[in-house]
Amino acid sequence: MMKRSADSDENAGPLSQEQLAQIGEARMHASQLWRAARVAHREYVGLILMGVVTAMFSCWGGISISSLIMGVWMIVGGVIEHRGEQRIRRMDPDVFRTLSRNQMLLGAMFVVISAWWCLTIALGTDKDLASTGATLSNLGIAEQQMMPMIKLMLYGAYASVGIFGIGWQGYLAWYYNRRQKEMIDYIQETPQWILDMQRSGILG
């Protein structure tokens, strides 16, 4: 890793070969951190878009409180990811704790709502199940023959939401947590003048 230096003339005049070498090494060691910033950006865009779509569909044919909660929660989670991306680029190591907790809360939300949806099927209060039954009756199709298959499909769809929350959000929580120590080590071992250039956006 780089040797931390703070010569008084580092910011004056053209960069020396040693300084250029330090910049190249800093960029190499910071690559994982910038990758984490890109991950946070993709999460921000994806969560905002899916949150807006989910919130809109929650009001389709009657308000679904659980879907509305999911949509709003995803939008809030996306905002946190966006702010996290900015904090990563400012070299704030505490951001990874925030992002990890954000992903754990998102995952828990997906699991709880998934379990709730499965429970509504078991209780016979699921809105989609009821509308499907009405549609089958209007088409002259016997509900008793089709309902077991439809319930199974809905169970699978709803359970996949919880599985996604455990798998993807759990992975991201672990991923962000791993980056925190990397950033702390990077800040401690990188020359201050390089950190200042990176935080100001001059040096990526």
Task: Report DSSP letters for 116-127, one per residue.
Answer: HHHHHHHHT--H
Q: Which residues contact 141 (CB under 8 A, 6 or more apart)?
A: none
Q: How far apart are CA 71 and CA 64, in angstroms?
A: 11
14 in a domain, yes or no? no
Tens digits of per-residue pLDDT, 4-34? 444 434 444 577 888 888 888 888 888 889 9
How many CA within 13 A on the CB side of residue 173?
Answer: 15
pLDDT for 152: 85
Q: Is residue 3 part of a domain?
A: no
Confirm whether pTM is higher than 0.85.
Answer: no
53 or 129: which leads in pLDDT: 53
pLDDT of 11 reads: 47
Give the pLDDT of residue 84.
97
Closest C-alpha to 71, from 94, 84, 55: 55
Over residues 101-138, the pLDDT tens digits come to: 999 999 999 999 999 999 988 887 776 666 665 565 55
Summarised one tens digit per residue, pLDDT across range 71-111 is 999 999 999 999 999 999 999 999 999 999 999 999 999 99
More confident site: 13 or 59: 59
Question: What does each C-alpha distance from 116 to 17, 50, 103, 121 come to in angstroms?
Answer: 62, 20, 20, 9
Has residue 9 been placed in a domain?
A: no
Task: Supply the range of the domain harboring residue 126.
Answer: 22-199
DSSP strands (E only) in the chain: none
Residue 7 inside a domain? The answer is: no
Each residue of 134-190: pLDDT tens digit?
A: 565 555 555 566 677 778 888 899 899 999 999 999 999 999 999 999 999 999 888
Q: Residue 44: pLDDT above 70?
A: yes
Tell whether the torsion through CA atoms of 185, 35, 37 and 167 is positive or negative: negative
CB atoms within 10 A of CB 44: 20
The reply to whether 70 falls in a domain is yes
| Residue 12 within any structural domain of the chain | no
Assess if residue 2 is contained within a domain: no
Tally the residues of the chain: 204
- How confident is residue 70, by pLDDT bands cut at 50, 70 and 90? very high
Position 61 scores a pLDDT of: 67
Structurally, the chain folds into a number of domains equal to 1
Q: In this structure, is residue 125 part of a structural domain?
A: yes
CA distance 169 to 70: 14
Reported as half-sphere exposure (CB side, CA atoms, 13 A), residue 203 has a value of 20
